[in-house]
Structure 1
Amino acid sequence: MLTIEKYAAIDIGSNAIRLLIANVIEQENSPTLFKKNELIRVPIRLGEDVFSVGEISEKNKQRMIDAMQAFRLLMNAHQVKYYRACATSAMREASNGDEVVQIIKETSSVEIEIIDGKEEAAIIAATDLYSVIEKDKVYLYVDVGGGSTECTLYDQGEVKVSKSFKIGTVRILKNLVDESKWVALSDWIKEHTNGYSKITVIGSGGNINKIIKMNRKKSRKSLSYLNMLNFYEMLDALSYDERVVKLGLNPDRADVIIPALEIYLRTMKWSNAEHIVVPSIGLSDGIIKTLYKTK
């Protein structure tokens, strides 16, 4: 006998806002299945406002209200039973973040939680991450967003240490990441990976998922450092317009994919990782899993 319920996750990031609707299928004497039903991405770049002027602009505030009202209607149409909405780096730092949360609650009945970097990393860890982690190997998990990068070291299948850094793709585009922040990330990685003979980086985030999809070997779920470097040099040699027209990248992906590659390449270099594994997971998937566990 099957029990099927619909769950939804809303991920309010610095570069985009996403709604994931999933079927949660319970079976007798079998593991629960999580099947993605629909994913909607709205390119509202909150980080551009917040990281520059410290607050969400009136224009983007209205776009957020419109998006949340649409998400509420879609959740109703899909007969979603449970949902959770989480906001990350941009909303954390916005001086009017709490005000926007209240307005959205009043206009759409969507309740938003502003979560910190530690909670963000914990939610992502609740995904299918453990399906790619082997207990006899050491991994540096790197989740790159528009406003921050979360790093977690796994050894013997367990979390050893985790930290969030204010280094993100939108911040880099706005020239808001100075050398001291890179040094802090470098020092942290070198300190915690020192002594391990071999490290594999696990990458997550919209940009690395897109990079894997664009790779010629469609079935590939990992890339070498050299693959990543060659891909970076190829993209960097193209203009923004060429990335949109020739490669078919979305306008809000064509610019941030370059700094994303820079972050992944630096973390691979500093940890002496030869490969990056990409399980194609993100915060939305983790929200669904953690929501299910609490319900």
Structure 2
Amino acid sequence: MLSAVVDTGYNSTRLCIYQVFPNNTFRIIGSTKSFLRLGEDVKEGYPIPEGKVVEAEKLFKEFKKVIEKKKVGEVKLLGTSAFRYASNGPEVAKRLSDVLGVEMRVLSGEEEGVFSFLGTVNSLPVDSGVVFDLGGGSLEIVYFSSREVREVYHFRLGALRLSKELKD
């Protein structure tokens, strides 16, 4: 069975298609990434600009073509910091959900950290440590031991967000 994840956030949007096996293991079939920068001009409480939303809708239409061509059975649509910070985040999430026909799940900062942790421990032979996930609009830090989350910290700063603020 093929599954897909569309992860869209402050800086970039990625489509990954996976082949999922009966034992719940998987392998990546393909991946594409676009630097939409939905959050580029978004200060907390301000909207994602309409031009960026239209650009995202066009990209999602292209993603939908790929998903349909590959006959993907399951699609997960995730939104991160751009949707958490923007005043129109829920409306933009709905518009993009409508394009793909899948409801977007907007992750909290803590959930985003847990997903980063899962990606790390399921791809590396590590037992304990710290995961840093620096995105375009947020930073998540996850402390773990015995391959289990112990603490998650979420900060409202990211590479694109900081570079913008340093220019202002």
TM over 0.5: yes
Q: Which amino acid aligns with 2:70?
A: H
Task: Kindly tell me the number of residue pairs found equivalent between the two proteins.
Answer: 165
Confirm or deny: 8 A CA contact 2:114 2:149 kept in the other structure.
no
Q: Which amino acid aligns with 2:125?
A: V
Structure 2 partner of 1:113: 105
Counterparts of 1:1-295 in structure 2, within 5 Å, are: 5-26=1-22, 31-51=23-43, 54-130=46-122, 131-134=124-127, 138-175=128-165
Name the CA distance, whole Å, in 2 between partners of 1:155 and 1:32. Answer: 23
Confirm or deny: 8 A CA contact 1:22 1:34 kept in the other structure.
yes
State the Cα deviation string for residues 86-131 of structure 1 (Å, max 9, x = none). 1101111111111112222334424211110111122223335144
Name the CA distance, whole Å, in 2 between partners of 1:122 and 1:52. Answer: 23
Question: Cα gap change, 1:32/1:107 in structure 2, threshold over 3 Å: closer, same or farther?
Answer: closer
Q: Mark the runs of 5 or more structure 2 residues left unpaired by the alignment.
A: none
Match of 2:5, SS? strand
Name the CA distance, whole Å, in 1 between partners of 2:154 and 2:73. Answer: 32
Confirm or deny: 8 A CA contact 2:18 2:26 kept in the other structure.
yes
Counting aligned pairs with the same residue, the percent is: 28
Confirm or deny: 8 A CA contact 1:22 1:36 kept in the other structure.
yes
Name the CA distance, whole Å, in 2 between partners of 1:33 and 1:106. Answer: 30
Confirm or deny: 8 A CA contact 2:131 2:142 kept in the other structure.
yes
Moved more, 94-103 or 121-130: 121-130
Confirm or deny: 8 A CA contact 1:19 1:41 kept in the other structure.
yes
Q: Mark the runs of 5 or more structure 1 residues left unpaired by the alignment.
A: 177-295
Question: Cα gap change, 1:159/1:110 in structure 2, threshold over 3 Å: closer, same or farther?
Answer: closer
1:173: Cα distance to partner?
Answer: 0.5
Question: Cα gap change, 1:128/1:32 in structure 2, threshold over 3 Å: closer, same or farther?
Answer: farther
Q: Which amino acid aligns with 1:162?
A: V
1:166: Cα distance to partner?
Answer: 1.0
State the Cα deviation string for residues 195-240 of structure 1 (Å, max 9, x = none). xxxxxxxxxxxxxxxxxxxxxxxxxxxxxxxxxxxxxxxxxxxxxx
1:84: Cα distance to partner?
Answer: 0.6
Q: Which amino acid aligns with 2:103?
A: E
Q: Which has the higher helix share?
A: 1
Match of 1:15, SS? coil
Confirm or deny: 8 A CA contact 1:12 1:18 kept in the other structure.
yes
Question: Cα gap change, 1:108/1:160 in structure 2, threshold over 3 Å: closer, same or farther?
Answer: closer
Name the CA distance, whole Å, in 1 between partners of 2:101 and 2:4. Answer: 14
Question: Cα gap change, 1:106/1:159 in structure 2, threshold over 3 Å: closer, same or farther?
Answer: closer
Q: Which has the higher strand share?
A: 2
State the Cα deviation string for residues 70-92 of structure 1 (Å, max 9, x = none). 11111111111111111101111
State the Cα deviation string for residues 45-65 of structure 1 (Å, max 9, x = none). 012122377211111010111
Question: Cα gap change, 1:147/1:161 in structure 2, threshold over 3 Å: closer, same or farther?
Answer: same
Question: Cα gap change, 1:119/1:18 in structure 2, threshold over 3 Å: closer, same or farther?
Answer: same
When normalised by structure 2's length, the TM-score is 0.89
Q: Which runs of 4+ in 1 moved over 4 A?
A: none
Confirm or deny: 8 A CA contact 1:56 1:94 kept in the other structure.
yes
Q: Which has the larger radius of gyration?
A: 1
Match of 1:140, SS? strand
